[in-house]
Amino acid sequence: MSAGTAALPRRSELPVERRWDIESVYPDDAAWEAEYAAVAGRLGELEQFRGRLGESAATLLAGLQRRDEILAAVAKLGVYASLRRSEDATNATYAALADRATGLRARAGAAASFYQPEILALDPATLDAYLAESPDLAVYRHYFAQLGRLRGHVRSAEVEETLAAASDVTGTPGTIRGALENADLALGRITDEEGREVELGQGNLGRFLRSPDRAVRRAAWERSADAYLGLRHTFAAALGGGVKRDVFYARARRYDSSLEAALAPNAIPTAVFHNLLDTVWRNFPTWHRYFAVRRRILGLDRLHGWDLTAPLSTAEPRIPFERGVEMIAESLAPLGEEYVGIVRRGIADRWVDGWANIGKGGGAFSAGTRGTHPFISMSYQDDLPSVSTLAHELGHSLHSYYTWQAQPFVYSRYGMFVAEAASNMHQALLGAHLLERHDDPAFVTAIVEERMGNHLRYLFTMPILARFELDCHERIERGEALSAAGMTRLLADLYRQGYGDEVAIDEERMGITWARFPHLFANFYVFQYATGIAGAAALARRVREEGEPAARRYVEFLKTGDAAFPIDALRAAGVDLRDPAPVQAAFDILAGYVDRLEETTKYEGRRTN
């Protein structure tokens, strides 16, 4: 499959085989509506447990099981609605459906809000006695441990109900930002390599940013950046609202900072965050060396923003979707036949929505819930970066698949900290596999370039955004205001540190990058891409060196879901991210890629158009 250079099709024009099988969740909208009415009518069932959860082990178990049953049904309704909206953000019907699903989730959260304070009000000795009395209640042991970390931060039942109900409102800034980018933002038109005028969209922008024609790349880079700049005040208002939401909840729950509020529930020390940024900043010289090699290969005196995505290989391989799947499957062989078989079955069963259309977002994600199979959204472009993106999302999907098979609903949503380790694990295995089997300089250059591009996102851009995010939260915590100009200037300054003297800084167009990342609406998520890629590098090395024992540990890690704290789950698989050593080891691998690129292209220097 490929999106090509032609005008993007409407969703209805795509053949069914090139769309995910969302009908496996609900056969049609009418079925969703019927289930919505039924589930909304069940929210009152939770009220019978209010004030009674501490009565006995049997009552506590019944209350938890009823809550999880209802919340699982709410989650399934949300998956269908959100996936429908992601197919085409211009479709008002599905925008409304998603909004109703969000509202139902907020009402369900409010209806169940008394659970945490009532359970935390129980004497720990009483809770231990209940666990000993009821074998079926023992499944909630880690859940009770998670709640224990919230002791002192969970408020009264009345306040918790208010906070839960407010989630429908506090989620609005992110919803506005998504609608703005995917439905209302016009990225502009450019002239492609063949002289045709084409309209830029989220689904085809990446293809033009990677064009070998420098004029095309520059036009795509500048037009798209200018589009975000044109709406910078609205994007800034949305992000400012998201940051204020985080600060509000941190204060409502009596945390010292938004960072602590984001990490403490999952037992992630704030030192992990700061150690990561310190390690990244110490290793900026490795990036400066890479930028210098890239500049030499491209034959340029100075790199600009549009040159960072220029293809370095003079013969970039064309990889159709089916061949890309085979490459991924071959690279995952060290994880065993069962694992690879699940990947192949997922492709055959249409887990992947891989074709661009009007209104579809340009990013990629894996979604779903226990009771559905995973779903992947992306825009495959017949190139190596697309293969890597597919591998990444399949990593998330296999993580979800194994978790949903092994864990009850209460542990079916694993934390962000472990999520990015699983996705980057696939990419690490893919890169190592391809480099091992190819010696053609052009193809090796393309492989290393893809690896560097992935690391540029996760070990360069994401840490820079993490420092930006920290600064924004600290400003609001100090009572200061956020503005489009201030955030743009801040991010441009951080890029100056990262790029050094190797890349020309276009302050406004580089600085507006904050508007392009919906990740910033997930409280302190972006730094976990960097810890994830570091953890993945270590896991992949062990699997390739040790074979079956390490593969078995890795699959057990995937099955853990949220049944262990993220740091502990990764440590059981063989990686301790409380120590900055794995992050430094990832940079050592990165330096090796730069060495390989430098050696492979030693005598290459060329002009770009």
Q: How far is CA 501 from CA 284, 462, 505, in A?
A: 11, 20, 9
Residue 400 neighbours by CB distance under 10 Å? 26
Under a CB-based contact definition with an 8 Å cutoff, are residues 138 and 240 in contact?
Answer: no
b/e per residue, 208-244, with b = 16+ CB within 10 A? bbbbebbebbbbbbbbbbebbbebbebbbbbbbbbbe
List, in order, residues 6 or more apart from 125 with CB less than 8 Å away.
Answer: none
**DSSP code per residue over 229-289:** HHTHHHHHHHHHHHHHHHHHHHHHTT-S-HHHHHHGGGT--HHHHHHHHHHHHHTHHHHHH
pLDDT for res 4: 40
The three-class DSSP label of residue 307 is helix
Domains and CATH numbers, the chain: 11-170 (1.20.140.70)
| Interior angle at CA 216, CA 355 and CA 206, nearest 5 | 30
Give 532's DSSP letter. Answer: H
For the purposes of burial, counting CB atoms within 10 Å of the CB of 406, is it exposed (0-12), middle (13-18) or buried (19 or more)? middle
Structure tokens at 84: 């429908």
Please give the pLDDT value at position 280: 97
| Secondary structure letter of residue 318 according to DSSP | P
Q: Tell me the sheet residues that pair with 365.
A: 377
DSSP 8-state secondary structure symbol assigned to residue 136: G
What residue ranges of the chain have pLDDT lower than 70? 1-6, 603-609
- Rounded-to-integer distance, Cα 400 and Cα 559, Å: 8
- Show Cβ contacts of residue 48 under 8 Å, excluding neighbours closer than 6 positions: none
Which residues are marked as active site? Answer: 393
State pLDDT tens for residues 218-235. 999 999 999 999 999 999
Alpha helices of 478-524 — where are they, by DSSP H? 484-499, 507-511
Spatial distance between the Cα atoms of 605 and 297, rounded to a whole number of angstroms:
4
| Token pair listed for 590 | 């990165």
User: Regarding beta strands 375-377 and 365-367, do their DSSP bridges make them parallel or antiparallel, or are they unpaired?
Assistant: antiparallel
Handedness of CA 433, 438, 442, 445 (dihedral sign): positive
Helix (H) or strand (E) holding 367: strand 365-367
